[in-house]
Structure 1
């Protein structure tokens, strides 16, 4: 007698991911990076705004100091001339006041030169803050990259003299 009892089996496996944790983690990481990038951009924009405002204030203050120094020098010239005339016509017995007026004028001239230098530096800082240093100095990008300007250096337009 032959026993013929075949064994059959069938299987079925179903894997349904209810949550894709790797994708969720990647998404959260990407969102955090995006937020950090947005914050960095906002900080950079705020810093540029602050830098430009500070440069404008510095430029205006330097301009006013220069104008004050010019007026002080002019007043010193007038004072020296007046003291020289007083001494010349005998209104004062010695030249002490003339010498003091000369010292005052020399100090005023020195202050004017320093104020002009400070104004020039403030102007450079302003041009740098607004991103126009090259254009103000008539330098092309190719010259800047090469590190060599093909023409002779000149005083930029608008510099106080």
Structure 2
């Protein structure tokens, strides 16, 4: 979720480069920064700060795209609708599943955090796979939500 983003950051984040670098690099860069404490000692804090800075800069560093007619942009637009719309104003079929998927993604991220803290590659990989599966499924639901609400704003 991009909470706290202004309108310009949301618009820029619909650019495919922003969407796919955030999905593809965001969590792996954080994981690598956490594991780097084994190789670079206390300098891992600098690596972690750089990873967090990347996540903050990511939706701000691309231009507003010429078109939002692609899956990634629709996922971002749907997520924005999800964040800004009261649950009771969402179509009924979009009220529960995204919450369950967000919870699944959060559980995966907790497993990743545990794996990174105790340096366990299995927990790290399991958490990453769980978190990403749920996150991608959630984003696909956001595409569906955006399409449904664009077709019927009163739904």
TM range (shorter): 0.3 to 0.5
Give the structure with the higher percent helix.
Answer: 2
TM-score by length of 1: 0.31
Q: Which has the larger radius of gyration?
A: 1
Structure number with higher relative contact order (C-alpha < 8 Å, ≥ 6 residues apart): 2
